[in-house]
Amino acid sequence: MSTAPDLRRDHRANGTPEAEPEIVISIRGLSNSFGDQVVHEDLNLDVRRGEILGVVGGSGTGKSVLLRSIIGLQTPDSGEITVFGQQVIGRPDSELQPIRKRWGILFQGAALFSTLTVAENVQVPLREFYPRLSEKLLDEIASYKIVMVGLPADTGAKYPAELSGGMKKRAGIARALALDPELLFLDEPTAGLDPIGAAAFDNLIRDLSKRLGLTVFLITHDLDTLYSICDRVAVLADHKVVAVGTIPELLALDHEWIQEYFRGPRGRAAEEANEAAEDEAAAEIGTGGAER
Amino acid sequence: MSSVARFRDAVEDGRRVLHFEGDLTLPRLGVLPTRLDRLKGRGFLLDLSGVERMDTIGAWLVHRTARQRGGEIVGANDDQQVLLRQVAEADQPVKVHADQLPPYERVLGQLGSATVTAGRTMFGLLGFFGALLITFWKVAGHPRRFRVNAVVQRFEVVGVQALGIVGLMSLLVGIVIAEQGAVELQQFGAQVFTVNLIARASVKELGVLMTAIMVAGRSGSSFAAELGSMKLAEEVAAMRTIGVSPMEALVLPRVLSTVLLMPLLGFYAALAAILGGGIFCWLSLEIPPITFVQRIQEIVPRTDVWELLIKAPVFGLIIGMAGCFQGMQVESNAEEVGLRTTTAVVQAIFLVIVLDAFFAVFFTEIGWL
């Protein structure tokens, strides 16, 4: 147990590539089906500490079902899932609570509690897990979390219905980050956002994950997101994870769906945009431009 | 090993130093925030060199203490400095609570807004009735646009599926009325008039009133919840843009179904209540069923049945309209669906009883005793 924090620090500070990466989520032989419809069959996947893993796949390949299996909303037919080295399937709620403290989840529609203000939403996990925190400290925590995710200062007292789609997602991230989790699940974070909002959101996720040393499990359809922030990408097809790797590694594979996905017109556009952005960033660093 | 966050308060070189130790993380905070709040004095030196781990909440506590007490942070490693810089950047005044008014202003404000809401609702309901009439008129002009299927589908939910509960309830009410009536009438040796009580109360009032309450609870509420959810999911907006009038497609079939089914259900409920009373009379008062039925024929004037058949569709209209109106008022969130559903039922039952009183006075005035 005591080695975990050290590894984490090493990974962030030195980024020693030769060290064996610690596995945060490990999925082995996962099978899911609804009636006759098979969603997953013998699916295997590892998520390493500190990485942003993108999960892609066509509609209906079970990306959300995979997420729901990991976080315990869906009981798989068979298979093993460990999170932080602990089995999560079939465990009673009380034993899952300590694991739940260590992850945060942003659902597709943000899933903010509509009867609570944004600040109260952020405080819900804090109140649930740490009932002894004082009201003053709770308010302060909510405040800096709200600012941290880039929401304007008057958002705290607003209700979700008064927010735009992008602001809702930011508020959702603030709630997901309330407990300072090590692991963040994001279900299509940029879906429904305009390109500018989506790019800003990508930056936010990358920033937060780098600064806070988060491991991010990210389901997305957004090629720009994949190119700009994901360390590795897992491809779901034929009921399995058919490939995991960096985008160049995936491009080298001879898989029909992967080729079509990344080589299609949208894939190429995203690739070019990413290259341009990287050039720009390199130029900025060259001229001594600071990070914002 | 990780350990609970704590700090040592010391004076070194004439300056107060707080040596932080252990894990400055949320799970290990313990009493640290309280102790920090109790600190007095200014100009501390905050030493983080003994800290093992720190998260943003730990960083926030250190940052806040430094800011409030004019302190200086030393001994933080690179990662900790990054965290401290982030929380410092995020340290901006944020509105966490909505502005609170003084109590008397709040009470007055609530009273005022409740009054305005009540007024608006009544006007809204009136407007809704108007819109419904116009829609009905339009559809009557183009009978092909009338959605027969939608109405017939509702018949099953509103009517057929309600038969069991309405029947059982009315049967029991019939028995109760008979039982209570018999006890009182016995004192005058007039038990035989229990039949009068059962027959007239059931046909004139109880059958239709109990049915109205049941239909409001079963169907009025489901109308409100259905339409409310559809509004939240933007189904209603989608319908409008396609050119389908929600009044025509959603509201009219629902209201028509309650209008058409209330008389049937009300009559059925009256029969069930009479049956219940009859069973009681037979078993307890030894009035044979044949006699009971003959007496009923003599006692119940035809006007009682007309009264039932006139009142029932009006009540159905109110229930259907209240349900649909409240459902269509949903704008923002899931809580509103619940509130509107409750309001729909309360409003429907209230209006039904008010109108029933008017009807009672009216029918008496025109001589339908």
Residue of A nearest to B81 (CA): A211
DSSP reduced 3-state for A244: strand
Distance from CA of B153 to the nearest CA of A (A): 29
Q: How does strand A232-237 pair with strand A240-245? A: antiparallel
The residue count for chain B: 369
Tokens of B347: 């409003």
Contact (CB<8Å) B95/A144? no
Chain A residues touching residue B97 (CB < 8 angstroms): 117, 119, 139, 156-157
Residue B64 falls in which region: left (phi positive, over 0), alpha (psi -120 to 50) or beta? alpha
Other beta carbons within 10 Å of A286: 8
Burial of B63 (0-12, 13-18, 19+ CB in 10 A): buried
Distance, CA of A137 to CA of B185 (rounded, Å): 71
Taking the model in full, what pTM does it have? 0.68
Closest A-chain CA to B34: A134
ipTM of the complex: 0.75
For chain B, say whether A147 makes contact (Cβ under 8 Å): yes
Query: Predicted confidence band at B252 (pLDDT cuts at 50, 70, 90)?
Result: very high
With contacts defined as CB-CB under 8 Å, which chain A residues touch B86?
148, 211
Segment B144-195, tens digit of pLDDT: 888 888 888 889 999 999 999 999 999 999 999 999 999 999 999 888 899 9
Asked if B95 lies within 8 A of A156 by C-beta distance, the reply is yes
Q: Where are the beta strands (DSSP E) in chain A?
A: 23-34, 37-48, 52-57, 78-83, 86-87, 103-106, 183-187, 215-219, 232-237, 240-245
Chain center to CA of A111: 15
> In terms of DSSP bridges, do strands B45-54 and B15-24 run parallel, antiparallel, or are they unpaired?
parallel
Q: What is the number of other CB atoms lying within 10 angstroms of the CB of residue A78?
A: 13
**Is the separation of the CB atoms in B199 and B299 below 8 Å?**
yes
B302's tokens: 């035809």
Residue B118: Cβ within 10 Å count: 10
Distance from CA of A141 to the nearest CA of B (A): 7
As given in the structure block, the two tokens for residue B41 are 């004095």
If we measure between CA atoms, which residue out of A128, A121, A198, A126 comes closest to residue A160? A121
With vertex at residue B367, the alpha carbon angle to CA B364 and CA B369, rounded to the nearest 5 degrees, is: 60
What stretches of chain B adopt beta strand conformation (E)? 6-12, 15-24, 45-54, 72-74
Query: Cβ distance A129 to A103 under 8 Å?
Result: no
Question: B26, B52 in Cβ contact below 8 A?
Answer: no
Pair of tokens at residue B205: 């009032």
Q: What is the model's pLDDT at position A285?
A: 64
Residue B280 has pLDDT above 60, yes or no: yes
Q: CA-based diameter of chain A, in Å? A: 60
> How distant, in Å, are the alpha carbons of A12, A22, A209, B168, B266 from that of A17?
11, 12, 18, 75, 79
pLDDT (tens, 9 = 90+) of chain A, 292 residues, equals 443 444 344 444 444 445 677 889 999 999 998 888 888 999 999 999 989 999 998 888 888 889 989 988 888 889 999 999 888 888 888 888 888 888 999 988 888 888 889 999 999 999 988 888 888 899 999 999 998 888 888 898 998 888 888 889 889 989 998 988 989 999 988 887 788 888 888 888 888 888 778 899 999 888 888 888 899 999 988 888 988 999 888 888 888 888 888 888 887 788 888 888 778 777 766 554 444 3
DSSP category for residue A21? P
